[in-house]
């Protein structure tokens, strides 16, 4: 059983398009996260939700909009994609607070 | 703000060599510390963690000790294998609600037979 799953694994699209990445966890965790890994493998937090409520919103362009329909799902929608959005996006989940975060396999987004 | 500094890579070793990857941190309060590993083409997996000073985390022959006096959490393994080739990330999280992992830049380890 996959604990944190993401779809799609690969996403290739043209500049200006709108795309979504989906994340689901079956660990019963209340907190979910989106991280971005750039081409140099640097990882940085984008958003965090606790029980469907947004609690972290880092300096991310407002073209990025997270949505949490329930506490097991956290989706990421990106409008008007730009070349600089090309990266690997990781979803993660944890119990609230400083507990261990469990990561999904990542979605490699390539914007042409 | 809080930050994590890891030694620059890549680190290239022969099988059965001793591994050390240095990690130091800057944080207010008492964060929890983690090492995550990313194998080629995969996501991040927790390797080990420590939640308070002098704790030692260990897993799969790797270990790291939370040193508050030197603000360090160095990763060590006595005898590396080819299968240990991966990118290793040191990370911290503040012990308070509403925070996320802060990662170091990652260290690439390549082990040859």
Chain A residues close to B96, C-beta within 8 Å? 97-98
CB–CB of B101 and A43 under 8 A? yes
Q: Tell me if A38 sits within 8 A of A102, measured CB to CB.
A: no
Q: Summarize the confidence of residues A42-48 as an average pLDDT.
A: 93
Compute the half-sphere exposure of residue B52: CA atoms within 13 Å on the CB side of its CA: 0
Element (H, E) at A102: strand A102-103
Confidence tier at A51 by pLDDT (50, 70, 90): confident
Q: How far does the CA of residue B18 sit from the closest CA of chain A (Å)?
A: 25
The CA dihedral of A78, B89, A101, A68, to the nearest 10 degrees, is 0
Q: What SS3 class is residue A85?
A: helix
Closest Cα in chain A to B103: A43
Examine the pLDDT at B98 and tell me if it is beyond 90: no
CB–CB of B46 and A102 under 8 A? yes
Nearest neighbour of B43 by CB, restricted to A33, A97, A104: A104
Q: Is the dihedral of CA A90, A96, A97, A99 positive or negative?
A: negative
Q: Which residue has the higher pLDDT, A33 or A96?
A: A33
Q: Summarize the confidence of residues B52-74 as an average pLDDT.
A: 96
Tens digits of residue pLDDT in B8-49: 889 999 999 999 999 999 998 889 999 999 998 888 999 999
Provide φ and ψ at A84, rounded to 5°.
-70, -10
Chain B residues close to A98, C-beta within 8 Å? 31-32, 51, 93-96, 99
Percent of chain A past pLDDT 70, that is, above it, reads 97
Examine the pLDDT at B61 and tell me if it is beyond 90: yes
Q: How far does the CA of residue A110 sit from the closest CA of chain B (Å)?
A: 15
Distances (CA, A) of A37 to A69, A112, B43, B72: 24, 18, 11, 24
CB–CB of B105 and A42 under 8 A? yes
Nearest CA among B58, B40, B47, B60 for reference residue B91:
B47
Encoding tokens for residue A9? Answer: 């694994």
pLDDT, position B50: 96
Confidence tier at A104 by pLDDT (50, 70, 90): very high
Going by C-beta distance under 8 Å and a sequence separation of 6 or more, which residues neighbour residue B22? B6, B7, B72, B74
Q: How far does the CA of residue A82 sit from the closest CA of chain B (Å)?
A: 23
């Amino acid at each position: 059983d996959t604990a944190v799953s993401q779809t799609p694994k690969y996403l290739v699209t043209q500049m200006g398009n709108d795309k979504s990445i989906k994340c689901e966890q079956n660990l019963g965790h209340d907190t979910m996260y989106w991280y971005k890994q750039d081409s140099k493998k640097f990882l940085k937090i984008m958003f965090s939700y606790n029980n469907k409520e947004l609690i972290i919103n880092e300096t991310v362009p407002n073209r990025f909009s997270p949505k949490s329909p329930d506490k097991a799902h956290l989706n990421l929608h990106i409008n008007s994609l730009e070349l600089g959005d090309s990266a690997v996006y990781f979803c993660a989940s944890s119990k609230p607070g400083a507990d261990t975060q469990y990561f999904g396999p990542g979605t490699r987004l390539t914007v042409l | 703000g809080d930050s994590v500094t890891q030694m620059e890579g890549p680190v290239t070793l022969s099988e059965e060599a001793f591994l050390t990857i240095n990690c130091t941190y800057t944080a207010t309060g008492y964060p929890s510390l983690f090492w995550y590993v990313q194998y080629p083409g995969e996501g991040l997996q927790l390797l080990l963690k420590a939640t308070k000073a002098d704790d030692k985390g260990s897993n799969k022959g790797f270990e790291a000790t939370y040193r508050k006096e030197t603000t360090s959490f160095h990763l060590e393994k006595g005898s590396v294998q080819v299968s240990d080739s991966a990118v290793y990330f040191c990370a911290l999280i503040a012990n308070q609600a509403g925070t996320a992992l802060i990662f170091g830049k990652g260290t690439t380890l390549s082990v040859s037979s």
